[in-house]
Amino acid sequence: MYTNIMALYFCVPFRDQLLEYYASNKNTGDGEENMLTCLADLFSQISNQKKKTGVIAPKRFIQRLKKQNEIFRSYMHQDAHEFLNFLLNELVDILEKEHNAERESLQNISLQKNSNGPINGQPNGSHKELAATWVHKCFQGILTNETRCLRCETVTDRDETFFDLSLDIEQNSSITSCLKNFSSTETLNAEDKFFCDKCCSLQEAQKRMKIKKPPNILVIHLKRFKYIEQLQRYKKLSYRVVFPLELKLLNTVDNSDLEYSLFAVVVHVGSGPNHGHYISLVKSHNHWLFFDDENVEMTDESMVQAFFGSPQEFSGNTDNGYILFYESLAEKS
């Protein structure tokens, strides 16, 4: 949990927006406590900490988290990816509710001033689409699912948004090859045939997933936990997967080569999904910091390589990169 918070804190666009939110809301005094206010307060404490060493215990944030979601109330090992997903979606929900409340308040004021007509030129009863929150602007990308009917050649596109990409991994591979596999063409046949609207029937088809709108902050989740049917349980894959400091994103709709820079790695330490420990590496002002609970050390960027995984199937090395945070170089420039 703390490892994800540190990764988000050193995500400069996200941190700046959250601290700005804190500054504009700290004096209002009428807002209720929620995950957003607790995280903003925690970021403010970290930002204003005068001591150069030591960490701030996120007690208030954890208390709020446990109130909000019963999954995090137990002492069982919690999944970092699940926590990150929950947190980002919770922040979005809060920001959208605040935006809705603010808009309704403005509409009520306008109605009082002009009770007989439409508001700001909008027809009565119309609803404006919600504006994207700053969480969306940091993390949200758009995938497009292209499906081509092999009979009539009609291509059907379906878009979906994402906050992170979950990638299947293979032994002795790289993030680039994992992304390539993510966008590889799949043939739909037999029981998996595609219903083509033009043919009005089930047809063989080919489909592939590509990135239509790349996010400013690219979060990659490596699927290191695989359910083994014979064992009736999940097993950790400590495969060696190379993740570069600079990443070119090739699988985009317009085939443009977008460049990203690695700034944080959440590492899972342990042999299985139900037990273990998380540590993190984060980049700050061109220096790398190593976080392990209360311990914080400056380290070299070459340490990133220690968490690629093991080239052998059975190995004592269980310290493996699990969640990667990349920032678009276009965003930084």
Task: Give per-residue pLDDT as tens, 112-165.
Answer: 666 554 444 444 334 445 568 999 999 999 999 999 999 999 999 999 999 999
Cα–Cα distance, 102 to 259 (Å, whole number): 38
Average pLDDT for residues 270-284, to the nearest whole number?
A: 90
Bigger pLDDT: 260 vs 100: 260
Lowest-confidence range among 23-37, 138-152, 168-182? 23-37
Structural domains counted in the chain: 1
**pLDDT attached to residue 301:** 94
CA torsion, points 191, 211, 134, 35, in degrees to nearest 10?
A: 40
Cα–Cα distance, 218 to 86 (Å, whole number): 17
Question: What share of the chain in percent tops pLDDT 90?
Answer: 66
Q: Tell me if 185 sits within 8 A of 207, measured CB to CB.
A: yes
pLDDT of 323 over the 90 cut: yes
Average pLDDT for residues 282-303, to the nearest whole number?
A: 93
> b vs e for 47-86, b when ≥16 Cβ sit within 10 Å of the residue's Cβ?
eeeeeeeeeeebeebeebbeebeeebeeeeeebbbebbbb
In a domain, 290, yes or no: no
**pLDDT attached to residue 69:** 87
pLDDT of 56 over the 90 cut: no
pLDDT band at 54 (very low <50, low <70, confident <90, very high): low
pLDDT of 107 over the 80 cut: no
In a domain, 29, yes or no: yes
In a domain, 33, yes or no: yes
Q: Tell me if 247 sits within 8 A of 262, measured CB to CB.
A: yes
Amino acid found at 272? G
Most confident of 49-53, 59-63, 181-185, 290-294: 181-185
pLDDT of 75 over the 90 cut: no
**pLDDT attached to residue 128:** 46
Cα–Cα distance, 281 to 288 (Å, whole number): 7
Lowest-confidence range among 68-77, 84-93, 242-251? 68-77
pLDDT band at 286 (very low <50, low <70, confident <90, very high): very high
**pLDDT attached to residue 115:** 58
pLDDT of 317 over the 90 cut: no
In a domain, 19, yes or no: yes
Average pLDDT for residues 181-187, to the nearest whole number?
A: 95
User: What distances in angstroms separate CA 260 from CA 78, 138, 275, one per listed residue?
Assistant: 29, 14, 32
pLDDT of 19 over the 50 cut: yes
pLDDT of 330 over the 60 cut: yes
In a domain, 291, yes or no: no
Average pLDDT for residues 195-208, to the nearest whole number?
A: 96
Bigger pLDDT: 179 vs 107: 179
In a domain, 221, yes or no: no
Most confident of 11-25, 65-79, 93-107: 11-25
Cα–Cα distance, 15 to 213 (Å, whole number): 22
- Expressed as residue numbers, the domain containing 9 is 1-50
In a domain, 309, yes or no: no
Average pLDDT, the chain: 88
Bigger pLDDT: 8 vs 102: 8
Average pLDDT for residues 281-309, to the nearest whole number?
A: 94
What token pair was written down for 59? 């007690």
**pLDDT attached to residue 50:** 67
In a domain, 87, yes or no: no
**pLDDT attached to residue 312:** 79
